[in-house]
Structure 1
Amino acid sequence: MIEPFQTTFAVPMTCESCVKHVSTSLYKLDGINKVDANLKEQLVFIEGTAPPSSIVSAIQDTGRDAILRGSGTTNSSAVCILETHSNSVSNKVRGLARMVQVSPNMTLVDLTINGLAPGKYHATIREAGDISQGAASAGGIWDALKTKVLGSDEAQKEPRGIFGSVEVDQKGRGNVFLDRPVAIWELIGRSMVVSGTKEGPFKREDENTLVGVIARSAGVWDNDKMVCSCSGKNVWEERQEQVGQGMA
């Protein structure tokens, strides 16, 4: 049974009608206990058991953007910059995964892709953080061996290292929010692979296979107004910058 957890989203709202529109959309979801919107700060505080990805979709269905700003846990954020290791391309960074733990056993992953060939891609967490040879050196899917050892019933379940899939459009872009029953501390130092296949084998020169090491993200979620004390950019300025770079 999932315990209720709290999440905070930055949502652009200009009037009380905006607040009502967003709140009404969220209360339609199963598992929403409380919605508290702050018009001045443009923040929406949510408590319940609804999957964060469903919450984001409900907000986006109102025609507004949504950026996850925090959760009810501490030391709960990680990031993974996804690159191709192919020598045939100059712009190697083609993806970004933001991860936030929203409860003791649930993490939300905001995965953005830019520059891949159109199609369906799988996001998996690998056993190792060695990306010296690209995805080929990152090891097998995390938790796969443990899942098989547990027995025939458990063997039918997917390893926790299989995070989900993302559809990349004709412009080479894709974005998806994924919920997975994992904790951030379990992911730090491992690698994420985004590829057309879950298992591999992976080729270093495949420009459509991405890999990156998962690292702790400190401070990004601790300030409701500023993304970085160095740049002073707020979340929407950062978002626009990422959009200009094709990363959001």
Structure 2
Amino acid sequence: MIEPFQTTFSVPMTCEGCVKDISTSLYKLDGIKNVEANLKDQLIFIEGTAPPSSIVSVIEDTGRDAILRGSGTTDSSAVCILETHSNAVSNKIRGLARMVQVSSNKTLVDLTINGLTPGKYLATIREAGDISQGASSTGGVWESLKAKVLGSEAVQEKEPRGIFGSVEVDIKGRGNVFLDRPVAIWELIGRSMVVSSKTEGPFKREDENTLVGVIARSAGVWDNDKMVCSCSGKNVWQERQEQVSQGMA
């Protein structure tokens, strides 16, 4: 059973009618327990078990945009931007994994893919966070060496915690899956995620259908109130437009 968690989104709203329209639509989504809005700060606070990607889709269906500003509590959230290292494509960013820890040993993973060849792909966590050579420099599957446990009479194989699951990519190149794994966020930070048609290599750097990214901390629900990036000087909506153009909706 998935434990409810909190998420907060920036959403353009001009009046209480906007709040009612968004709230009514969100309550129709499976897993939504509570929706609150702050019209002054243009924020929507949500509690439930629905994937953030599904929440964004529902808000977009009301004719408004939405930016995930935080999820879970401090130090319980992470994000991984997935990209191909192939030089044959211009838009290298083709996936995004949002992660939130909901208990001492359970993390939810909302994985979205956009731009891959149709088929089944496997998401794995790797031992290293070195993506200088794409997936080939990330090492083996995390905890694969610990997956062998002694049984009463023989050695039994146990699936490594680094094998997260699979995602089906449709004919439009899109895929989304909501997974839960027995891991904590702190164990994942600094490691890499690989999305590929196979669990083990050899991975080819020029394979545009193999994605890789480093897992980094992301803001909790109350941790991110910035509206302008100190690095670029762009506001969150300008950054959002760039992300959408790169397939990171």
Query: How far apart are the structure 2 equivalents of 1:58 and 1:158?
Result: 35
Query: How far apart are the structure 2 equivalents of 1:70 and 1:168?
Result: 29
Q: What residue number does 1:204 align with?
A: 205
Query: How far apart are the structure 2 equivalents of 1:90 and 1:123?
Result: 21
- Give matches, 1:119-198, under 5 Å: 119-144=119-144, 146=146, 149=149, 159=161, 161-165=163-167, 167=169, 170=172, 174=174, 176=176, 178-181=178-181, 182-198=183-199
Query: How far apart are the structure 2 equivalents of 1:156 and 1:63?
Result: 47
User: Structure 1 vs Structure 2: percent identity of aligned residues?
Assistant: 68
User: Which segment drifts farther, 13-22 or 49-58?
Assistant: 49-58
Which residue identity does 1:84 align to in structure 2? T
Q: What residue number does 1:103 align with?
A: 102
Query: How far apart are the structure 1 equivalents of 2:219 and 2:59?
Result: 26
Query: How far apart are the structure 2 equivalents of 1:21 and 1:150?
Result: 56
User: Which segment drifts farther, 141-150 or 224-233?
Assistant: 141-150
Q: What residue number does 1:89 align with?
A: 88
1:134–1:5 distance in 2 versus 1, CA, 3 Å:
closer
Query: How far apart are the structure 2 equivalents of 1:59 and 1:179?
Result: 22
Q: CA deviation at 1:240?
A: 0.9
Q: What residue number does 1:35 align with?
A: 35
Q: Which runs of 5+ in 1 are unaligned?
A: none
Q: What residue number does 2:217 align with?
A: 216
Q: Which runs of 5+ in 2 are unaligned?
A: none
The answer (yes or no) to whether the contact 1:98–1:109 under 8 Å persists in 2 is yes
Normalising to structure 1: TM-score of the pair? 0.74
Structure 1, residues 11-32: CA drift from partner, whole Å, max 9, x if none?
2333333322221222234443
Q: CA deviation at 1:147?
A: 5.5
Structure 1, residues 88-146: CA drift from partner, whole Å, max 9, x if none?
537483335353425233344454545x4455433322233243543234233335565
Structure 1, residues 26-81: CA drift from partner, whole Å, max 9, x if none?
22344433211223322111123444444344434444433221124112443434
1:39–1:75 distance in 2 versus 1, CA, 3 Å:
same
1:90–1:183 distance in 2 versus 1, CA, 3 Å:
same
The answer (yes or no) to whether the contact 1:188–1:214 under 8 Å persists in 2 is yes
Q: How many residues align?
A: 243
- Give matches, 1:207-246, under 5 Å: 207-217=208-218, 222-246=223-247
The answer (yes or no) to whether the contact 1:13–1:19 under 8 Å persists in 2 is yes
Structure 1, residues 194-241: CA drift from partner, whole Å, max 9, x if none?
223344442233232222222335799833351523334332221112
Return the structure number with greater helix share.
Answer: 1
The answer (yes or no) to whether the contact 1:192–1:211 under 8 Å persists in 2 is yes
In the alignment, structure 1 residue 67 sits paired with structure 2 residue 99:
no
Q: What residue number does 2:45 align with?
A: 45
Query: How far apart are the structure 2 equivalents of 1:106 and 1:37?
Result: 26
1:100–1:14 distance in 2 versus 1, CA, 3 Å:
farther
Q: What is the RMSD computed on CA atoms of the aligned residues?
A: 3.7
Query: How far apart are the structure 1 equivalents of 2:100 and 2:122?
Result: 21
The answer (yes or no) to whether the contact 2:73–2:220 under 8 Å persists in 1 is no
Query: How far apart are the structure 1 equivalents of 2:157 and 2:30?
Result: 30
